Amino acid sequence: MEQQAMLNLAGITWESVVDGPGLRTVVFAQGCTHACPGCFNPELQPFHTHRSVALAEVLSGLDERPHIRGVTFSGGDPFEQTDSFARLAAACRHRGLSVWCYTGYSWETLCQCDRFRVLLRELDVLVDGPYVEAERDTALRF
């Protein structure tokens, strides 16, 4: 049942225009194994419990904002909490919201692991691969 899932979050930005098209909510996972040099969110790498949030609480916040058009998962790495983020993604899609996800894992790695596929199936857009500071381009829209 979707109301029982818990997420370990670093935070939620309820309204954003920089993490995907349209007005979106961004859900930041706490915990990441990639340790990319120059990481944009290094404080989200540790796997301590930052804020344990029930899926129902996130969905309630989305339901209070009918003007939101999509949800973006960022982090940390949402694929470190695959089952909970898959449930959140499915509930968002059920509400007609698009779902984007940023991950440090490559597409190839995600496709090779059964536990990752449950979340992959629920995404509209995947931005994959480790952060490479030398390739940073602030002219890109997303």
63-84 residue pLDDT tens: 999 999 999 999 999 999 999 9
Phi-psi map region of 94: left, alpha, beta (phi>0 left; psi -120 to 50 alpha):
alpha
The dihedral of CA 26, 30, 34, 36: what is its sign?
positive
Taking the whole predicted model, whether its pTM rises above 0.75 is answered as yes
Indicate if the pLDDT at residue 47 is higher than 60: yes
Tens digit of each residue's pLDDT (9 = 90 or more) over 9-39: 999 999 999 999 999 999 999 999 998 888 8
User: CA–CA separation, 32 vs 22, rounded Å?
Assistant: 27
Residue 1: pLDDT band with limits 50, 70, 90: very low
Tens digit of each residue's pLDDT (9 = 90 or more) over 84-130: 999 999 999 999 999 999 999 999 999 999 999 999 999 999 999 99
Q: What is the pLDDT of residue 139?
A: 83
Residue 136: pLDDT band with limits 50, 70, 90: confident
Q: What is the pLDDT of residue 5?
A: 87
